Structure 1
């Protein structure tokens, strides 16, 4: 049975807050090499930090902030957590004041963050592996793209898994076999997109239906807050917009600029499909 452990909706980042589930997703994507950079800071007291912390997190105090802010590249995404998500917002604003482009305060604090991380790690480590040999077509596909034939969820460039690459190329045959092997549909690439987004890029309706039938998150929001429906509307892909709506995509979801799919419609055809959702 294919796993469908999808991240919960991302907290609006206009106030520099992020849900614990999405923070865990960012953290694991960085740990797996999908996101090239991420600085994680624990702003609790030294005793608590010394007892338990997120692996790789650095302890940060108000007195040590200036040194960190001066040496850390401004392009490095910053993730801050505290006890309950209050003090971390203050530190996140301090980083933002120093013109760090991406700064996130984890809602709920350390305990909630740690629990979300453990849950997401468990869902990934528990993913079933293929028990039968891949077909010649899948073997050739994996070799051509340099994927690990022994780990069908392993990523390559830009954080693409074999399922994402097959979706991008519109390879319904490969998608079908990968899903049969039990690959994870919850994986997201370096931009926070899942395989459905890549299927929409290829405009392959069959692959979209395969992924939806497997339980993929139709309303996954990427690191910019965009859903597949927003992308297809902004790209003028009316057929894909219609298909996603048929598959249950929610047109009322806003991105981080508070724009919905109807606001992003690039063609009259897309606008007509979405006009019933207009404010």
Structure 2
């Protein structure tokens, strides 16, 4: 058996849905997530027969070798048959001071099904055909691919995320009209909504919501944009997100809601009915 460390790390093991695990894998494959380690803890024959592409077979004996090249901040996905043994392994990674260790609920079959659905649902990427001079200049300046306006660049940001981070409403509008994927997530699992909240552009939030973006996306730490705005004391944006339909009852991985994270009396007043 693996020799366990003398002390454990305070970060707890997390379970992840097969949908979110598939999202992480797709973001890694597309370059939005810079690193990811996937481990299969089923028996050797099952792994040899079929496994998630890129996964490595993890056993007690292979653990030291497979983890030697990983940083403690490398996100880790562990799957088994049904999501039980993988929880034990995810806890083992946490005990060895790995910060992000995820056990995939439902195991291999569920994860494979969600990956297959994601891949089957992919369509031709939107292109900068007939784009304005401003958008062409923006794409060039930030090194984006004009033939794939959903392709990420630095920090996993897509053109829509970058335009939102800059608070550029006209560019975001044009990208939406060109059909970009509104719910693409960056390396931290955030979408353009989060970027718009960082820039503080209320009008941009309204445009994104009107186009149908998911206001309640939870990033890889379980935080929503409403939680971010509440914790940053962005009262006007908290009010706007609530007006647009953001859910204040969602909890993060520490079981806290946006109201529990409110950094100002004004934000707390808006969210007081949700505080535990």
Q: TM-score, normalised by structure 2?
A: 0.91
Unaligned runs of 5+ in 2: 1-10
Specify the alignment match of 2:74 in structure 1. 76
Q: Deviations over 1:6-46 (max 9, x none)?
A: xxxxxxx9542111111111112222222222111111112
Specify the alignment match of 1:153 in structure 2. 150
Question: Displacement, 1:248?
Answer: 0.7
Q: Is the Cα–Cα contact under 8 Å of residues 262 and 277 in structure 1 kept in the other structure?
A: yes
Specify the alignment match of 1:265 in structure 2. 262
Give the aligned length: 266
Q: Is the Cα–Cα contact under 8 Å of residues 13 and 101 in structure 2 kept in the other structure?
A: no
Q: Tell whether 2:173 aligns with 1:215.
A: no
Question: Displacement, 1:129?
Answer: 2.3
Question: Which one of 23, 41, 44 corresponds to residue 43 of structure 1?
Answer: 41
Bigger CA drift: 56-65 or 228-237? 56-65
Structure 2 counterparts to residues 197-276 of structure 1, below 5 A: 197-276=194-273
Q: Deviations over 1:154-182 (max 9, x none)?
A: 11100000000111111111111111111
Bigger CA drift: 180-189 or 35-44? 35-44
Bigger CA drift: 90-99 or 195-204? 90-99
Question: Which one of 54, 57, 60 corresponds to residue 55 of structure 2?
Answer: 57
Specify the alignment match of 1:112 in structure 2. 110
Specify the alignment match of 2:160 in structure 1. 163
Bigger CA drift: 113-122 or 103-112? 113-122
Q: Deviations over 1:78-136 (max 9, x none)?
A: 1110111111112112222222111111000011001111222333x315524841111
Classify the secondary structure of the residue corresponding to 1:94.
helix
Specify the alignment match of 2:85 in structure 1. 87
Q: Is the Cα–Cα contact under 8 Å of residues 80 and 105 in structure 1 kept in the other structure?
A: yes
Q: CA RMSD in A?
A: 1.7
Classify the secondary structure of the residue corresponding to 1:154.
coil
**C-alpha spacing 1:151/1:170, structure 2 compared with 1 (3 Å):** same
Q: Is the Cα–Cα contact under 8 Å of residues 83 and 105 in structure 2 kept in the other structure?
A: yes
Unaligned runs of 5+ in 1: 1-12
Q: Is the Cα–Cα contact under 8 Å of residues 127 and 183 in structure 1 kept in the other structure?
A: no
Q: Is the Cα–Cα contact under 8 Å of residues 41 and 86 in structure 2 kept in the other structure?
A: yes
Q: Is the Cα–Cα contact under 8 Å of residues 205 and 243 in structure 1 kept in the other structure?
A: yes
State the distance in 2 between where 1:217 and 1:127 align. 22
Q: TM-score, normalised by structure 1?
A: 0.90
